[in-house]
Amino acid sequence: VQLQASGGGLVQAGGSLRLSCAASGRTFGRYAWFRQAPGKEREFVATNTWRGGSAYYTDSVKGRFIIFRDNVKNTLHLQMNSLKPEDTAVYYCAATGRAYTLTDYLILSSTYDYWGQGTQVTVSS
């Protein structure tokens, strides 16, 4: 099982980036994106079921970020629009074999069994 993240970079505030995470080895019940800024704990960003249609976002990214999966290429994505300097962080994709539904579980990093390596996103002001 492998999750391979890519797509990070440097962008000006107000710009957009699309993160990708190539998934291989199995199918999953749910996947997510987390991020970790320097000196801070890893935090939940967004999650969706493998089938789609059950997206959930942290409040700070609602209306700006979109989580989705390319079914053909089996690639997970996080489309990030209207980026702000406070979005600067290392972003991680994660997945679990179970399709959890309770919000309390969805936002915990311990819920997810598989993790990709991080990809750096830097938003300049």
Average pLDDT for the chain: 95
Assign 3-class secondary structure to the chain.
Answer: CEEEEECCEEEECCCCEEEEEEEECCCCCEEEEEEECCCCCCEEEEEEECCCCCCEECHHHCCCEEEEEECCCCEEEEEECCCCHHHCEEEEEEEECCCCCCHHHHCCHHHCCEECCCEEEEEEC
pLDDT at residue 99 is higher than 90: no
Percent of the chain with pLDDT over 90: 82
Encode pLDDT of 23-72 as tens digits: 988 889 999 999 999 999 999 999 999 888 889 999 999 999 999 999 88
Q: What per-residue confidence (pLDDT) applies to 104?
A: 85
> Which of the pair, 88 or 104, is modelled with greater confidence?
88
pLDDT > 90? residue 6: yes
What local confidence, expressed as pLDDT, does residue 72 receive? Answer: 87
